[in-house]
Structure 1
Amino acid sequence: YVSTVFTGSSAVTQVFVQRGKDVLLNVTETVVLQKDDDLIWRFNKTSNLVRFIPGGKTTIFTNYKGRAEFFEQNHSVQLKNLQAADSGVYDARVVGDKDRPVAEYTVTVQDPVSEVELNVTQDGGASGSPDSCNVNAICRTADSEISSTFRCVHQTCSQDEGEQSTVTNSGSSLHIYLSDVLIICNHSNQVSRTKATREIQDFCKLDPVIQPLYIYVTVGIVIVLVVLIITGIFVYRRISRTYNTKNIENTVYDTPQVITAQTRDDASPNDASGPSSIYSCAGFPTRSTETEVKPPPESIYSTVQKPARNLQEL
């Protein structure tokens, strides 16, 4: 776990390390070493870990031989197998005409947290109730404990006063809370975490909520109505489609009728009236049941007669 805290003009980075683990500390400022400059890593500003001189000469001091490793390419240092006594402030400085800090860390070495124990019991006062139940839970570590009460009504559970937590004597955190149907006890610090869980239903066997009968009746009626409406629409569309098909098949279209013109009788030569035309009324001509004999075509020419001469004129 790493966090950064700004103090004054420089940044102090907080680092939490589990006991027995390693940590890598990097410089946080640009480092350009001149000919006469040295770079030094220190512990608690009094004990030197590493000295680096331009040209590739690196010195690891006696107390950290085998426990520290220096990387020349980026001027970082790795501390190995940290113990509780290694907690403290580590800083890097460029020493020359003017000293200047290029990194500072506060390192805290922590032990992993212990296992946690979760005890859950049903409240005897609510025992036997068909629709409600109370349970008490105790979350316990080697040096601390925390308790909480949970209430369930109709299979819906809640925690009295909400999530609860405390800080143990060793500085770790202890939490107890409800997540869905699980009671969870969580023990943690910055480098490790343990937890224990129990299902609340193991202690509260509640009857499910029974819905009133009228709800089921109403739902059933609605379903039946929807089915009837859909069926009616389907039948109506089917009948309409069948009727339209038959109507198209039985439609009789009007047949064009032939209009015959009767030939006008030859007018009398003495008839001075003008020509006239007679048209038949619309309709099918009636035909004789007997075989119709068609006469050969004839040509009729008018005979021109000269007026008779008077005998007296002769």
Structure 2
Amino acid sequence: MAMMLQLIFVLSTLISVTVSIDVFGHFGISVELDIQHPVPEFHDLFWVFNRAYNVLKYSKKHKESTFYSHYKGRVEFNVETYRLTLKNLQKTDSGLYEAKASGNKVRVVAEYRLSVLDPVEAPVLTHQLTNDTCNITLTCRGHDLSINFIHYKETFEEKEVTSPGGVTLSLSVNGSTIICNHSNTVSWKTDVMEMRELKRLCADEGSVSPFAGVSVCLLKTVLYSITLTLMLSAVITVHIRERLTKSS
């Protein structure tokens, strides 16, 4: 019987443990933190930052809310739901937030781990043609991440890379649109390119250029040779005319 009571006590303790919830927000916005568990009878309710700094104190008896120095003007508190709203988030707001109901005992009724992130920068999607006009290199760049892909005619492969800080860069296709997406947990920005732009750059299989198969080096050599021949012909012509004039 004693073992059964002990087991029930352990299970009830495990069930009542508050699990920290990860919350993400970006610089300058607001975030709402709700109570996670039923609130028992209490005298005061506190929202606490990093288990050391009071954000606010709510007195149930006097129906009064006290906001502490760093958070004055930047927090709102709902006296009915006990919800905490943090406004104009700063990077220094990142950390652990707990709601504690103080009565006969102190109980944690909410626990959040907030991460304040910077919004991502707009990515850049570029293309570059190689010697083969149907062979196009696509480059998707965002911050310190980069993706390269060689597009040949109708082929396309989706790619994605993620930094240790949780920032993701992806190159994908949606219908006729190529999308370079730069994102983190709280924001995303894109740069797009229409597939028809690549098709316009890609030469039709049936059309052949007059210089197809001729290297640039060979073409330059031919042009230099023609120019040199014309110059020599001009010099010889002038020389012959001068001799004919002297003979006359």
Flag whether TM exceeds 0.5 (same fold).
Answer: yes
**In 2, distance between residues paired with 1:75 and 1:179?**
44
Q: How does 1:70-219 map to 2 (within 5 A)?
A: 70-124=77-131, 126-127=132-133, 133-152=134-153, 157-159=154-156, 162-168=157-163, 171-204=166-199, 205=202, 207=204
Deviating 4+ runs (over 6 angstroms): none
TM superposition score normalised by structure 2:
0.69
Tell me if structure 2 keeps the 8 A contact 1:16–1:191. yes
In 2, Cα distance between the equivalents of 1:179 and 1:73? 46
Counterpart mapping for 1:24-43 below 5 A: 24-34=32-42, 37-43=43-49
Work out which of the residue numbers 57, 75, 84 in structure 2 matches 1:68.
75
Partners of 1:42 and 1:91 within 8 A in 2 = yes
Question: How many Å separate the matches in 2 of 1:91 and 1:208?
Answer: 66
Structure 1 unaligned regions, length at least 5: 1-6, 128-132, 210-314
Q: CA deviation at 1:41?
A: 0.5
Counterpart contact for 1:173–1:188, Cα < 8 Å: yes
The match for 1:294 is: none
Q: Deviations over 1:179-222 (max 9, x none)?
A: 3332221111122111111123323345489xxxxxxxxxxxxx
> What is the alpha-carbon distance in structure 2 between the residues aligned to residue 184 and residue 123 of structure 1?
22
Whole-angstrom CA distance in 2 between matches of 1:198 and 1:61: 50
Distance 1:183 1:123 in 2: 19
Give 1:84 deviation, angstroms.
0.7
Q: Does the 8 Å contact 1:18/1:191 carry over to 2?
A: yes
d(CA) in 2 for partners of 1:45, 1:138: 46
How many angstroms apart in 2 are the aligned matches of 1:8 and 1:102?
Answer: 9
Q: Aligned partners of 1:202, 1:78: CA distance in 2, in Å?
A: 47
| Alignment correspondent of 1:216 | none
Compute the RMSD of aligned alpha carbons.
2.3
Q: Is the 8 A contact 2:166 2:185 kept in 1?
A: no
Which of the residues 12, 20, 24 maps onto 1:16?
24
Shift of 1:111: 1.3
- Partners of 1:114 and 1:203 lie apart in 2 by 25
CA distance in 2, matches of 1:201, 1:24: 44
8 Å contact from structure 1 (residues 150, 158) kept in 2: yes
CA displacement 1:288-310 (0-9 Å, x = unmatched): xxxxxxxxxxxxxxxxxxxxxxx
Amino acid at match of 1:178: V
Query: Percent identity over the alignment?
Result: 32
The match for 2:219 is: none
Deviation per CA, 1:200-252: give whole Å up to 9, x if none.
Answer: 3323345489xxxxxxxxxxxxxxxxxxxxxxxxxxxxxxxxxxxxxxxxxxx
Q: Structure 1 residue 32: deviation in Å? A: 3.4
| Aligned AA (2:127) | V
Unaligned runs of 5+ in 2: 1-14, 207-248
1:203 aligned partner, one-letter code:
L
1:53 paired with 2:59, answer: yes
The 5-angstrom pairing of residues 290-309 of structure 1 reads none
| Shift in alpha-carbon separation, 1:178–1:8, aligned structure 2, 3 A | farther
1:11 alignment partner, SS class: coil
8 Å CA contact 2:40, 2:101 repeated in 1:
no
Q: Name the larger-Rg structure.
A: 1
- Tell me: higher relative CO, structure 1 or 2? Use CA pairs within 8 A at least 6 residues apart: 2
Size of the aligned set, in residue pairs, is 189
Matched residue SS, 1:203: helix
